[in-house]
Amino acid sequence: MEVAANLAVIQEKIGQACEKSGRKPSEINVIGVTKYATIERTEEAVEAGVKNLGENRNEGFLEKYHHIGDKVTWHFIGTLQSRKVKDIIDKIDMLHALDRSSLAKEINKRASAPVDCFIQVNVSGEASKHGLSIEEVIPFIEEMEKYEKVHVIGLMTMAPHIEDKEEIRRVFRDLAYLRDRIKAKQLHHAPCEFLSMGMSNDYEIAIEEGATHIRIGSQLVGE
């Protein structure tokens, strides 16, 4: 399917999820995840109107960035190795996977301007997943105050790959609740307004639970 047709289906579903939950589609940022897409397919997405692109590896990001440039907003959604921070940090607009102090320290050292970051949270506690546990997040955010280049704009999670929709919903709801608690603190370095959650299989649930950034790969740019 053409990306434009896929995008139309996704926008329709976003509209329905917003209606169900009393939200506005304009609150939802669709990030096209192009990690498995060719340059041509990525360009097709940009032409179809996708304004945000997400990559999870340095090499993939740099290749796409080289071709597409600054006409989209760039999201780095994968685990970032500290030694590779310098290669990409001034090119990306948002980092979705801040998960350790050593990475924050390196960002602080290398970035020329403050970087908008989401803290990755492992809500479900699966051993295979990256991210801080729920309990670790608030102390971690307090620690981030000393890094002036780290600007905590929100929380990010990946739901488990399971069929049980209520279990998935619980993960998103827990993340939204944690975001609310942090936002209420009104921390200058961590406004924590946003929620990056929801992928191809679960973005409608994520929107119903408050997602502001959904990260969609296969349903948008897949075969």
73 DSSP β-pair partners: 52
Closest residue to ligand PLP, based on beta-carbon distance: 217
**Sign of the dihedral defined by the CA atoms of residues 67, 91, 26, 206, in that order:** positive
Name the residue nearer to ligand PLP (CB basis): 46 or 80.
80
Counting residues that bind ligand PLP (by CB under 6 A) gives 14
Query: Given the complex with ligand PLP, which of 154 and 217 has the nearer CB atom?
Result: 217
Does residue number 218 form part of the binding site for ligand PLP (CB under 6 A)?
yes
**Shortest separation between residue 145's beta carbon and ligand PLP, angstroms:** 26
Q: Indicate the Cα dihedral angle 57, 173, 204, 22, nearest 10°.
A: -130
* 8-state DSSP, 88: H
Of 66, 42, 40, nearest to 54 (Cα)?
Answer: 42
Q: Is 154 in the site for ligand PLP (CB under 6 A)?
A: no
Footprint on residues 76-115 left by ligand PLP (CB under 6 A): 77-78
Q: Does 35 bind ligand PLP (CB under 6 A)?
A: yes
Of the pair 54, 210, the CB lying nearest ligand PLP is at 54
Residue closer to ligand PLP (CB basis): 68 or 187: 68
Considering only 14, 30, 33, 205, the residue that binds ligand PLP (CB under 6 A) is: 33
Q: What CA–CA distance (Å, rounded) separates 131 from 189?
A: 20
85-122 burial by CB neighbour count: b if 16+ within 10 A, else e? beebbeebebbbbbbbeebbbbbbebbeeebbbbbbbb
* Residues contributing to the site for ligand PLP (CB under 6 A): 33, 35, 56, 77-78, 158, 199-201, 215-219
